[in-house]
Structures are given as C-alpha cells and as structure tokens.
C-alpha cells in the first residue's frame, strides 16, 4: 500500500502532468491539495479513468483538497470542527477500505503570512483544531495517515537557509511547537522515521531559480498514528515531478505501508 501527499497547485491547469505522475509513481492513495476548483470542475472522469475513486472538497480559485484511492472509500469527513465561520476547503478525511483499512486525511494547512497578523492567528487556530481532531482519531486506535501540505518547516535542516526563513510563518517557533504537539499525541513523521536526512525538500518556489539552485523547503508531511507507523516501510520524495513540463512547485512525498 502506497500513500502520497501532493500539492498540485491547480488540478485543471496541470492535469496532463498530474496524470503522468500518477501513472509513473504507481501509488494506491493520493492526497491532493490546492485544487483551486469547485467540486463540479474537478476532473473526476479523467481520474476515475486512471483507476481511482475520488473524494473532493473543493473551493473556487483557492484551496481545495481531494483523495484518490484504488480501493473503495467511505466515511467522508469534510472540514474541521471548531470554527463555524471558516469556509476554507482545507481538510478531507476518508476510510480506505483495503484488506487492512486505513483512515486517511488530505490537509492543506494555512500559510500564515504575513506574520504577525490575522492570517497567522488563523493558522495557529487551524493547527489547534487539527490537533483536536488528531486526538479524537488516536482514541479510535485506527491506522491513520494525516497527509498534506502543512506549511511547516519542522527543523532548520528542512530548508536551504534558516536565516532566510527564521521569521517566516512556516518556520516560526509557534508553528513548529504546534507541529510537535501533534506528533506528541503519539504520531510519527514518516520521513523522519525512515529517512531524516537534512536538506531533502518537497517545495521549490518558481522565483529566483529556486529549483535550479536547490533552494527548497520540506513542508509536505505524512503523519502516522502508531497503528500506521508500525506498518511503515519506506518513504521517498518524488523529485522528478518538479522537473516535468508545467510542474507544481511541490512534489509528492510517498510512503509504503505493509498490507
């Protein structure tokens, strides 16, 4: 069982690239972020033709998350509770009905810049709500993978130059502290468990030749409950996707789990 997270940065604008990556990577469950389309505009037919069942929580122009699965999916949860006025499409959760079921969420955490300000306050509240949901899921003792663009650089070594990022919302101490609170519930950062090398990135900006200079950051994470972490075998970052025609500025991070 392979599970991947990928911020596609507009599913319709990059559909040919997305379909090529899906074919090459041979992943069972894809958690996609930043769809930038409403449910009705999601390319469901093309993705179903590629062999996937689709769950979608879209939003016009911004945000949007989806889960694609080669297995049946059920028990869909759209959005996080705790802030009724929040209408951003940033969280989608399903049960993947494989031989050994997994509960999977696709997460697009707020960026939070500029900091300080309302956007950063919203980011921190959103992380608190995610932590609350993760605590509920832990109590259920299921195999859970919380996959997504967390907009969080966990360590100094997860960016090309911490002096550039130290005051940014992605690396600020309050952001990192909340990510640690999530892990301290008993969850595991899959990359840290099976790789943990410094300067392995999942995002390179389109500006200033960031890709060519390898000026990247690691902000896309697969966070596993103990029941999922016990089945975790390997983790890889699919860098090839960033060098393709019309790429996203993110690349997939892929974990393999024992059946």
The token pair that represents 4 in the structure block = 């991947």
pLDDT for res 223: 98
pLDDT for res 256: 98
pLDDT for res 129: 98
Average pLDDT for the chain: 97
CATH number, domain with residue 106: 3.60.10.10
pLDDT in tens, 134-161: 999 999 999 999 999 999 999 999 999 9
Cα dist from 117 to 114, 172, 185, whole Å: 6, 13, 28
* 31 within 8 A of 5, measured Cβ to Cβ: yes
Alpha carbons 195 and 197: distance in angstroms, whole number: 6
pLDDT in tens, 48-85: 999 999 999 999 999 999 999 999 999 999 999 999 99
Average pLDDT over residues 208-229: 97
pLDDT for res 46: 98
Predicted TM-score of the model (pTM): 0.97
Is 89 exposed, middle or buried, given 0-12, 13-18 or 19+ CB atoms closer than 10 A? buried
The token pair that represents 119 in the structure block = 């956007």
Q: What residue has token string 């899906």?
A: 22
pLDDT for res 219: 98
pLDDT in tens, 165-210: 999 999 999 999 999 999 999 999 999 999 999 999 999 999 999 9
pLDDT in tens, 106-120: 999 999 999 999 999
Alpha carbons 225 and 183: distance in angstroms, whole number: 9
Domain range holding 69? 2-257
Total domains in the chain come to 1
Query: Residue 259 — pLDDT band, cuts 50, 70, 90?
Result: confident
Is the pLDDT score of 221 beyond 90? yes
């Amino acid at each position: 069982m392979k599970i991947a997270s990928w911020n596609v940065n507009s599913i319709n604008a990059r559909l040919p690239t997305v379909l090529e990556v899906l074919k090459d990577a041979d992943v069972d469950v894809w958690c996609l972020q930043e769809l930038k389309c409403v449910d009705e505009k999601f390319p469901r037919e093309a993705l179903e033709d590629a062999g996937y069942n689709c769950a979608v929580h879209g939003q016009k122009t911004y945000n949007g998350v989806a889960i694609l699965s080669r297995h049946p999916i059920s028990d869909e949860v759209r959005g996080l509770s705790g802030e009724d006025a929040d209408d951003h499409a940033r969280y989608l959760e399903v049960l993947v009905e494989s031989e050994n079921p997994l509960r999977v969420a696709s997460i697009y955490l707020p960026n939070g810049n500029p900091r300080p300000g309302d956007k950063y306050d919203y980011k921190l509240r959103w992380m608190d709500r995610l932590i609350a949901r993760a605590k509920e899921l832990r109590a259920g003792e299921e195999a859970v993978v919380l996959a997504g663009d967390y907009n969080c650089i966990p360590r100094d070594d997860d960016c090309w130059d911490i002096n550039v990022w130290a005051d940014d919302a992605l690396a600020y101490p309050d952001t990192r502290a909340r990510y640690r609170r999530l892990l301290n519930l008993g969850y595991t950062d899959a990359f840290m468990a099976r790789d943990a090398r410094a300067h392995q990135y999942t995002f390179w900006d389109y500006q200033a030749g960031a890709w060519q200079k390898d000026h990247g950051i690691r902000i896309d994470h697969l966070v596993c409950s103990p029941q999922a972490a016990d089945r975790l075998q390997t983790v890889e970052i699919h860098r090839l996707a960033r060098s393709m025609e019309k790429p996203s500025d993110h690349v997939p991070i892929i974990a393999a789990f024992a059946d």
